[in-house]
Amino acid sequence: MNIEQVKEILTDGTLGYFATTNGEQLEVRGWQYQFAEDNKFYFITANTKDVYRQMKANPQVAFAGVSNDHNVRISGKAIFVGADERKKYFSRLSQGVQDLYKSWDNPVVEIFYLESGEVKINKGYEPFQTIKF
């Protein structure tokens, strides 16, 4: 399997769990994957949340979800995009997220992607395959 096949399996808007560290222990919360472009997996948060501060302090994060009968784990370094990219990508976010944040120029909007990481993917009880990106 390769990254393009993973992007076909991991549907936009997949629900899952997102992990960060608060400096002492891991914190996991429900989360929604947004989309992939090139070798980047995109997500969104607000800069008013603890999760944002945790990612700024330690950008190593992970997401796990189930999509199209596959278990998908993505881990890597969170990279926040600038204003030009926020404007470009806001329309690609799920409708519920767009309704929540209203506009790309909402001052709390933080779109980020994962890089320098890996995807672990399997179907059912098959062994996981690891794809670096």
Q: What is the pLDDT of residue 79?
A: 98
Domain spans in the chain, listed from the N-terminal domain onward: 3-123
In the chain, the amino acid numbered 133 is F
Band (pLDDT 50/70/90 cuts) for residue 14 is very high
- Output the six-digit token pair for 24: 């002492």
Q: Which residues pair with 48 in a beta bridge?
A: none
**Top-tier CATH class for 3-123:** mainly beta
Q: What is the pLDDT of residue 17?
A: 98
- Output the six-digit token pair for 20: 């960060």
Query: What does residue 33 show for φ and ψ, rounded to 5 degrees?
Result: -70, 145
Quick: pLDDT tens for 44-53. Answer: 999 999 999 9
User: pTM here?
Assistant: 0.95
Q: What is the pLDDT of residue 56?
A: 98
* Sequence-separated (6 or more) residues with CB below 8 Å from residue 27: 19, 20, 21, 50, 51, 54
Taking the C-alpha atoms of residue 2 and residue 51, their distance in angstroms, rounded to an integer, is: 30
CA 124 to chain centroid, in Å, comes to: 22
